[in-house]
Amino acid sequence: MSNPVQIKNALISVYYKDNLEPIIHELNRLGVTIYSTGGTETFIRNLGVDVVAVEDLTSYPSILGGRVKTLHPKVFGGILARRSFESDEQQLAQYQIPELDLVIVDLYPFEETVQSGAGQEDVIEKIDIGGISLIRAAAKNFKDVVIVASKDDYGTLENILKTQDGQTNIDQRRAFARNAFNISSHYDTAIFNYFNEEEPLPVLKQSIQSSQVLRYGENPHQQGTFYGNLDAMFTKLHGKELSYNNLVDVDAAVALIDEFTEPTIAILKHTNACGVASRSFIKEAWIDALACDPVSAFGGVIIANEEIDAATAEEISKIFYEVLIAPAYTDEAVSILQSKKNRIILVRQRTELPVKQFKTLLNGVIEQDKDSVIEGPEQMNAVTNRKPTEQELKDLYFANKIVKHTKSNTIVFAKNNQLMASGVGQTSRVDSLRQAVLKANSFGFDLNGAVMASDAFFPFPDCVELAAEAGITAVLQPGGSIKDQDSIDMANQKDISMVTTGVRHFKH
């Protein structure tokens, strides 16, 4: 065993006592002297195990309402002393400081207190001082000291005590130290972000403790990892693990479906909607969403904002899809859907989603607010002689929700709360429009009376002209081009209505 250290003395001071009892009994079996404070000291005594109060070691009581308990040279000296330094050992003897070979300490629940909505005074009191100092000191001196900073490591420590009789090697102590610094850095990040909410410094600090290794990244030769807690957002009822590409599509699907309140189903492929419909019943929404583009729907991600019943499940099961997401399923629907191997069935839980977006770029990271704006009829400014009808305004609103979540350059055709076609990710808006017309025609849609939404302004009137020739009767665009009037004039010439919103929805 490399650089073995025998645990002779331990300091234990924890907020959470879960699963601590077996460790106390193992330390007692090994004859380890235990030092402790406050509630932990009482907990150990109640187990019938001898314990030395830290204040008996330091000759100072806990003061300032418990704010100062362990901050003392007799504690930190025993942790930080380098066993290989003769001068350090001499000073320990001179000042009667015991070598502390094991430190078990956790931190006040700062994040939990913030999330509970507690007032500032309560939050501030949950900023740990002694605990964080003990963790850093013990982790720094990992060559001689074992630091356990989380109950998640209790099982590992208990196994070492049982199988190695309290003797640790350098690799084990380094691993404990790594875990401890992870906890301390996460804790400090949470505190900084709390203080950085008002008049924030332009600093990016993120710390996510949970992660999931993915089968691979965007392609099989790329590694992939998801950082976050998927279990808090989804309950998986069936299927294989979500892949990198699944997650990207699921993210886009969730963002899109949250725009709708009426029963709606959306089908996405490569983050773009290839089918969306809102209807009175979810089965009708599925049938009309699939009709938008049944070819692209193959292997897509399906999301609903209403419970999936058996009848809808029967229809959905007729095609191959990768992921199905809904807030609930009937028992019969689950049985039907689970008959298809590997298809991923998720129940979505309502969780608070981030309001910021991050992306690695060049040698850094870019950040932006999420696009949380959506313009309804009240924000639509009619700029043509012909004004949109009430139904056209509803359809323009529907189309605008979809165009917001589609790759630029994009054009969306819609009618009666149904996506009819879209032109996606083209390098010119005219190409996007032509693509949308071809797709609508190929699936038998009649564009007469349909509406069109564009994610950005028209630099030339050609898009308006082509749309009118295809049967479009109302157009939505943000406006803002120096040639806006040309497009308005073309709309007037073709006797179609146009509204501007003043808000662009680029999506790269």
Tell me the C-alpha distance between 479 and 503, whole Å: 8
Q: Which two tokens stand for residue 329?
A: 């399923």
Tell me the C-alpha distance between 380 and 17, whole Å: 59
Mark whether 74 is an active-site residue: no
Region of residue 76 (phi > 0: left; psi between -120 and 50: alpha; otherwise: beta): alpha
Region of residue 481 (phi > 0: left; psi between -120 and 50: alpha; otherwise: beta): beta
The residue from 8, 126, 270, 340 that is catalytic is 270
DSSP-derived letter for residue 63 is B
Cα distances (angstroms) measured from residue 349 to each of 191, 236, 273: 27, 11, 22
DSSP-derived letter for residue 386 is S
**Three-state secondary structure readout of 192-237:** HHHHCCCCCCCCCCCCCCCEEECCCCCCCCCCCEEECCHHHCEEEE
The residue from 126, 140, 151, 340 that is catalytic is 140
Largest CA distance in the chain: 98
Tell me the C-alpha distance between 290 and 282, whole Å: 12
DSSP-derived letter for residue 502 is S
Tell me the C-alpha distance between 451 and 287, whole Å: 21
Mark whether 140 is an active-site residue: yes
SS3 240: coil
As annotated, the active-site residues are 140, 270
